[in-house]
Chain A
Amino acid sequence: MALFSAFQTTFLLALLSLKTYQSEVLSEPLSLAPESLEVSIDSARQCLHLQWSVHNLAYHQELKMVFQIEISRIKTSNVIWVENYSTTVKRNQVLRWSWESKLPLECAKHSVRMRGAVDDAQVPELRFWSNWTSWEEVDVQSSLGHDPLFVFPKDKLVEEGSNVTICYVSRSHQNNISCYLEGVRMHGEQLDPNVCVFHLKNVPFVRETGTNIYCKADQGDLIKGIVLFVSIFEEPKDFSCETRDLKTLNCTWAPGSDAGLLTQLSQSYTLFESFSGKKTLCKHKSWCNWQVSPDSQEMYNFTLTAENYLRKRSVHLLFNLTHRVHPMAPFNVFVKNVSATNATMTWKVHSIGNYSTLLCQIELYGEGKVIQKQNVSVKVNGKHLMKKLEPSTEYAAQVRCANANHFWKWSEWTRRNFTTAEAAPSEAPDVWRNMKSVQGHCVVTLFWKPLSKLQANGKILFYNVVLENLDRPSTLKLLSIPAPANGTELTLDQCSYQIHVTANNSVGTSPASVIAVSGDPGNKEVEEERVKGTEDGFCLSWKPQPGGVTGYVVEWCERPGDPLCDLQWKNLGPNTTSTVVSSDAFRPGVRYNFRIYGISTERIPYLLEKKTGYSQELVPSDNPQVLMSNLTSYSFTLSWKDYAAESQPGFVQGYSLYLKSKAARCLPGSEKAVLSDDSICCKYKIDNPKQKTFVVENLQPASFYEFFLTPYTSVGEGPQGAFTKVTTPDEYSHILIRIILPMIFSILLIMILCYLKSQWMKEKCYPDIPDPYKSSVLSLIKSKENPRLTIMNVKDCIPDAIEVINKQEGTRKSLTETEPTKPTYLYLLPTEKSHSGPGPCICFENFTYNQAASDSVSCGHVPVTPKAQPSQLGLLTSSENGPKALGKNYVNSLGEIPAGETNLNYVSQLASPMCGDKSSLPTNPPEPALCSEYKTQMAIPMGLASPPSITLLDEGEHDH
């Protein structure tokens, strides 16, 4: 019952409701106005979010409606935005709509209102606007707080190049506010007394930490700011997809730059294929794999979307799968059937579909360069024959493939190396010989050049040398020389031989090279010519031979002077008469000798010409050792015969002689020259290089000269060396030498003679004079102890007469010569003229003369005339009591005294104690003798005695 009553009530209510609806719809148009409008704010995004609903809709009814929304700023009359928003509306559904403001919402008060209209074709009668809702005011400023200054928007993130509006809200009316963008003041638009708006257009990226915008009060430390983060976000570049196996597509791209965001915001990539509607989120930032659908989908339309916090960026790619095939590298690649000139390459490829053909490219590399290139169409197995290969050569062959129908990309290369087989050498070795005669035998040294790789066709194992004796044709001799050798030495008799040389590898023998030698070495005397070398080498030419020449050979040594001179040769054709010989081994300053041979029809070489030259001449390396000879007052001769001009690093063309002298002018034949040290001298030029002597003439006697000789080549003179000094002799000096030298020799001879005969000379020239004091008689006297006996002193003698006489020169001379340091000035000479009568009593006690008497004394001074002298002497010498101590010489000398010199003996006796030795003067001079005593001395007959006399020779000397 209860159940029934409940059902009845529900039915009635529904019926009522339906009736009401029908009556409303049918009676008058029903207004469907938006109701319950609410406005909220998203400050961070500067968005106004609106939500509302339409209540008047019937239950389950869905209608298309359009809502007109108006947004005003500051005051309701200032509508800044009007938009119609269409949507399908259900009863009591909450509708939402958002609006993003360019101006930060905090900067001004916003008001929103809206109205709605049915926009449904089913209900055309309801197409009219409802009434506006009331203005919904959005005033963020009122909820900001009490800070004196605000800047909006707060820390906004924008894209580079976008426009941004900034404002400040100031609560302080007294203070002026200035705003700055990165330190640069901005000028804005005053929205109201408290709000100022700044429009930034096309904002650039400044730094990752954002662009600083701040406002500050002119007074106080009030400062507020925001940071504007500017992001650079580019779309992905080089987006491309391809497949290698028709199962997986690999899509790649280069991410666009994404700067300006601090790390919290990163990009994500999404790949969307529009035909299949599939989508995949890529795990990597630059590539993504896509599984190819098994339903043989051919066309693909991809969209790659890069997305960050701010926005998305997309790129599109439409392609046919078969056009994007990048084949895998060929496999099972082999090089088969390799001969000396051919090889076959085989390979396999991965299939790219049942009906597809691959185009394969084969490249053949030899010595690092592509020498063959070929394209081949391949289904599964590939094969290619490589021809025209060189024997015994390393090659590399590589193959790659691409889709033949729709070329997209080549596969990677697959490479194989191989070496062709050997073949017999193709060319005869280049052979030359050197001949010399040793002990009647002909020693032939054979040289050959190794074959080039192209000629050898393999590794040369040995060389065969066959000697064919031309005089005995049946005689053959074979020599086999192992391979690295490039020559051999043969000792032959004087016969003629033909020599065949072949090179051999593992496959065969080369053609033979033939050279003949005869008994005559062919080194006839040929004039040597000079050639001038250049940087490119030596240009040699020769006279053509009048026939019978099969070719020419030019031979030279690359290291002249070296025992292993590194012989080189060059084969030239019979019509050639000149060639250029060049070599890296040629050095400046080295003389190279070239020999040009003609090859006769019998293959016998014979010398045609000799050339010599320098690739580059240099100045002489050393100067000659100059010898000077024939030095006279006016000239001297220089010679340098030992100088080896041939070993100089250039052809010596002559010599330069530098002569320095004090003379201001140069001698004839020379010219003034300035040396490197700025000194000036005279230079003689000797043009003949063979001249090795030079006479320097016209010199001044007794003058100082310096000379220096240096050779010169075409390049210049030799090194500066030291000057040799020379002084020409005086004009008369040789005459003087001729006189003085013999004189000195003579004097020396005399002196030697005198020395040897000194005793004899002494006896002859200055015999010893007996000294009475040293006489042995004195001892006898002393022994008798007779004090009265004493030696006569001259002071005791009183001359009674002085006679001045002129002595003979000879007498005086002899006296001075014998005793030059003992002047004698007193002579007591008996003269017949002077004694006229008996003189006073003067007694000379001279024991020398009266020693014969033991007690009687004799007056020493015995006046004798020259005539009477012999008798007197005879008297004296006859005394038998004469002291034996007296020297024989003394006695002899007395006996030998010439008549004119008799008185000399007395003088010496007197003078001796006076002047000869004063120190030996007797301390007790003898007292004057008494007259009575003197009388006893006067025993001599008066007739014989002459009065005593004193001869004063030189008054001036008397006092001595």
Chain B
Amino acid sequence: MLPAAGEPAAGDSWGMLACLCAVLWHLPAVPALNRTGDPGPGPSIQKTYDLTRYLEHQLRSLAGTYLNYLGPPFNEPDFNPPRLGAETLPRATVNLDVWRSLNDKLRLTQNYEAYSHLLCYLRGLDRQAATAELRRSLAHFCTSLQGLLGSIAGVMAALGYPLPQPLPGTEPTRAPGPAHSDFLQKMDDFWLLKELQTWLWRSAKDFNRLKKKTQPPPAAVTLHLEAHGF
């Protein structure tokens, strides 16, 4: 029995090698790897995904600074105020089933619209900031967020989806009225940063999902894994 058990193992490795050689031979024929023409939306999705991760990291530092600037209780870790004045902010949280059932177009459109709004609010935040360093950080983040917006627009264009048109007169502004107290304004700022963070998390998931959908066929993946393991 033992020799019989040993033979298949040797046969397996030979078989794997033969399979690898065969796959390598047919490699030019694999359409997913044959990227001589249009690369498709894959790279730009990946780039957008990377950008969301980068912005998430960047926001973590910015939010810490900004919430310290607002003072306690806004910089307290367990502070969770009600979403009083922040109703106009686009909500990132959504039911999981709803999220799953979103089609690519809707998913991308929601992202695009959310960041368009958030960017406007964030620019208002930038104008209000008192210290030059904070203004610099906010301006830098705004530029990055603008980049993300452009990246999403690029993905949508690559997939052939039209960009959502902003409705006239619905441009969100950050103009506290007389009834809007400074404390409420700080709450809004807090919620803006929090919502932005949530949106970046969600976008990372959104683009990861899109990335998986547009990834090459499983044959190429198998090849990759085998070659790696080998």
The interface of chain A, by Cβ under 8 A from chain B, is 151, 154-155, 180, 182-183, 206-212, 214, 221-227, 229, 262-263
Residues of B within 8 A of A223 (CB): 81-82
**5 nearest CB pairs, A to B:** A183-B72, A227-B182, A225-B183, A155-B182, A221-B82
User: 8 Å CB contacts to A: which residues of B106-140?
Assistant: 130-131
Q: What are the residues of chain A within 8 A of B183 when measuring CB–CB?
A: 151, 155, 212, 214, 224-227
Q: List chain B residues, Cβ under 8 A from A263.
A: 130
Write the chain B residue with the least CB distance to A225. Answer: B183
Given A182-B72, A209-B130, A212-B72, check contact A227 B181 (CB 8 Å).
Answer: yes
Q: Which residues of A contact B73 (CB under 8 A)?
A: 180, 183, 212, 214
Complex interface: chain A residues within 8 A of B72 (CB): 180, 182-183, 212
Determine the distance from Cα of A222 to Cα of B83 in the docked complex, in whole angstroms.
Answer: 10
A212 with B71: in contact, given A226-B183, A227-B181 (CB under 8 Å)? yes
| Closest Cβ–Cβ distance, residue A98 to chain B (whole Å) | 21
Residues of B within 8 Å of A227, CB to CB, are 181-183, 186
B54 interface residue per 8 A CB criterion: no
Contact of A226 among B76, B81, B82, B182 (CB under 8 A): B182
Tell me the chain B residues, 56-106 only, with Cβ under 8 Å from chain A: 69-74, 76, 80-82
Q: Given that A227-B181, A262-B130, A263-B130 are contacting pairs, would A212 and B186 also be in contact in the complex, using a CB cutoff of 8 Å?
A: yes
User: Which B residues lie within 8 Å of A154 (CB)?
Assistant: 181
Residue of A nearest to B129 (CB): A209
Which residues from A are CB-within-8-Å of B74?
A: 212
Task: Kindly state the separation between the CA atoms of A223 and B130 in the bound complex, as whole angstroms.
Answer: 26
Chain B 171-230 interface residues, beta-carbon cutoff 8 Å to A: 181-183, 186
In the assembled complex, the Cα of A568 lies from the Cα of B42 at a distance in Å of 89
**B79 smallest CB distance to A (angstroms):** 9
When distances are taken between beta carbons in the complex, the residues of chain B under 8 Å from A224 are 183
Residue of B nearest to A229 (CB): B182
User: Which residue in chain A gives the minimum CB-CB distance to B84?
Assistant: A223
B80–A207 touching, CB < 8 Å: no
Cα separation A552 to B200 with both chains bound (whole Å): 97
A206 to B131, CA, bound (A): 15
- 20 residue pairs of the A-B complex, CB under 8 angstroms, read A183-B72, A183-B76, A206-B71, A207-B69, A207-B71, A209-B69, A209-B130, A209-B186, A210-B71, A210-B182, A212-B71, A212-B72, A212-B186, A214-B73, A221-B80, A221-B82, A223-B82, A224-B183, A226-B182, A262-B130
Question: What 16 additional pairs, Cβ within 8 angstroms, besides A208-B131, A212-B70, A225-B183?
Answer: A155-B183, A180-B73, A183-B72, A183-B73, A206-B71, A207-B69, A207-B71, A212-B73, A212-B186, A214-B73, A221-B80, A223-B81, A226-B181, A226-B182, A226-B183, A227-B182
Q: How far is the CA of A473 from the CA of B71 in the complex (A)?
A: 107
- The B interface is mostly helix, strand or loop, or mixed, namely loop
The distance in angstroms between the C-alpha atoms of A223 and B131, with both chains bound, is 28
Task: Identify which of B69, B71, B82 contacts A211 (C-beta below 8 A).
Answer: B71
A155 to B183, CA, bound (A): 8
Measured in the bound complex, the distance between the Cα atoms of B182 and A207 in whole Å is: 14
Alpha-carbon gap, A225 to B183, bound state (A)? 6
**Complex: A182 Cα to B70 Cα, angstroms:** 10
CA distance A223 to B73 in the complex (A): 11
Alpha-carbon distance between A211 and B186 when the two chains are bound, in angstroms? 12
Q: Which residues of B contact A229 (CB under 8 A)?
A: 182
Kindly list chain A residues whose C-beta atoms are within 8 Å of the C-beta of B82: 221-223
The reply to whether B71 and A209 contact each other, CB–CB distance below 8 Å, is yes
B72 nearest CB neighbor, chain A only: A183
Closest to B130 in A: A208
Separation of A180 and B183 alpha carbons in the complex (Å): 13
Q: How far is the CA of A443 from the CA of B73 in the complex (A)?
A: 101
B178 CB → nearest A CB, Å? 9
Q: How far is the CA of A154 from the CA of B186 in the complex (A)?
A: 14
Contacts of B81 in A (CB 8 A): 221, 223
CA A182 to CA B71, docked complex, whole Å: 7
Question: What residues of chain A lie closer than 8 Å to B182, measured between beta carbons?
Answer: 155, 210, 226-227, 229
Chain A, residue nearest B70 (CB)? A209
A207 partner residues in chain B, CB cutoff 8 A: 69, 71
Shortest C-beta distance, B118 to chain A (Å), equals 21
Return the CB mask of B153-187 against A: 1 if under 8 Å, else 0. Answer: 00000000000000000000000000001110010
Residues of B within 8 A of A210 (CB): 71, 182
A208 proximity list for chain B (CB < 8 A): 130-131
Closest Cβ of chain B to A838, distance in Å, is 106
By a CB distance below 8 angstroms, the chain A residues around B71 are 182, 206-207, 209-212
A229 to B71, CA, bound (A): 12
Contact residues in A for B130 (Cβ distance below 8 Å): 208-209, 262-263
Max count, chain B CB within 10 A of own CB: residue among A210, A222, A223: A223
Set of chain B residues within 8 Å of A183, measured between Cβ atoms: 72-73, 76
Report the minimal beta-carbon distance from A494 to chain B, rounded to whole angstroms.
92
Bound form: Cα–Cα A207–B67 in Å: 12
Q: Give the docked Cα–Cα distance between A211 and B81 (Å).
A: 18
Cβ distance A74 to chain B, nearest Cβ, rounded Å? 25
CA distance A154 to B183 in the complex (A): 9
Query: Could you say which residues of chain A place their CB within 8 Å of the CB of B80?
Result: 221
Q: Which residues of A contact B69 (CB under 8 A)?
A: 207, 209
Q: How far is the CA of A209 from the CA of B187 in the complex (A)?
A: 13
* B137 CB, nearest partner CB in chain A, Å: 15
Query: What A residues does B70 contact at CB under 8 A?
Result: 209, 212
B8 shortest CB reach to chain A, Å: 65
Task: List the B side residues contacting A214 at CB < 8 Å.
Answer: 73, 183
Contacts of A212 in B (CB 8 A): 70-74, 183, 186
Of the candidates B69, B80, B81, the one having the most CB atoms from chain A within 10 angstroms of its own CB is: B81
B76 proximity list for chain A (CB < 8 A): 183
A183 to B: closest C-beta gap in Å: 4
A209 contacts across to B, CB distance below 8 A: 69-71, 130, 186
**Closest B residue to A223 using CB positions:** B81
* Chain A residues with CB under 8 A of B186: 209, 212, 227
CB of A181, distance to nearest CB on chain B (Å): 9
Cα of A225 to Cα of B185 in the assembled complex, Å: 11
Q: Output the least CB separation between A41 and chain B (Å).
A: 15
Q: How far is the CA of A224 from the CA of B181 in the complex (A)?
A: 10
User: Smallest CB–CB gap between A157 and chain B, Å?
Assistant: 10
Which of A182, A227, A262, A263 has the most CB atoms of chain B within a 10 A radius of its CB? A227
Interface hub of B74, B81, B181, B182 (most chain A Cβ within 10 A): B182
Q: Which residues of B contact A151 (CB under 8 A)?
A: 183
Query: Shortest beta-carbon distance, B91 to chain A, in Å?
Result: 17
A155: which B residues are within 8 A, CB to CB?
A: 181-183
User: A699 to nearest B CB, angstroms?
Assistant: 81
B131 surroundings in chain A (CB, below 8 A): 208
A177 → chain B closest CB, angstroms: 15
Using CB atoms, name the residue of chain A closest to B83.
A221
Tell me the complex Cα distance, A207–B82, Å. 24
Complex CA distance for A812 and B215, rounded to whole angstroms:
120
Shortest Cβ distance from A784 into chain B, in angstroms? 95
Q: How far is the CB of B126 from chain A (nearest CB, A)?
A: 14
- Closest CB of chain A to B78's CB: distance in Å? 11
A99 to chain B, nearest CB (A): 23
Complexed CA–CA distance, A154 and B73 (Å) = 18
Q: Which residue of A lies closest to B74 (CB)?
A: A212
Complex Cα spacing A97 to B183, Å: 32
Closest to B128 in A: A262
Q: Which of chain B's residues have a CB closer than 8 A to the CB of A226?
A: 181-183
A432 to chain B, nearest CB (A): 73
Query: How far, in whole Å, are A210 and B185 apart by their CA atoms in the complex?
Result: 12
Interface centre among B73, B74, B76, B80 (most CB of A within 10 A): B73
How far apart are the CA atoms of A210 and B72 in the complex, in Å? 11
Give Cα distance in the complex from A224 to B186, angstroms: 12
> Complex: how many Å from CA A212 to CA B183?
7
A379 CA to B60 CA in the complex, in Å?
A: 74
Alpha-carbon distance between A209 and B128 when the two chains are bound, in angstroms? 10
Instruction: Give, as a whole number of angstroms, the nearest-CB distance from B23 to chain A.
Output: 59
Task: Give A111 Cβ to nearest chain B Cβ, in Å.
Answer: 27
Assembly CA distance A154 to B178 (angstroms): 10
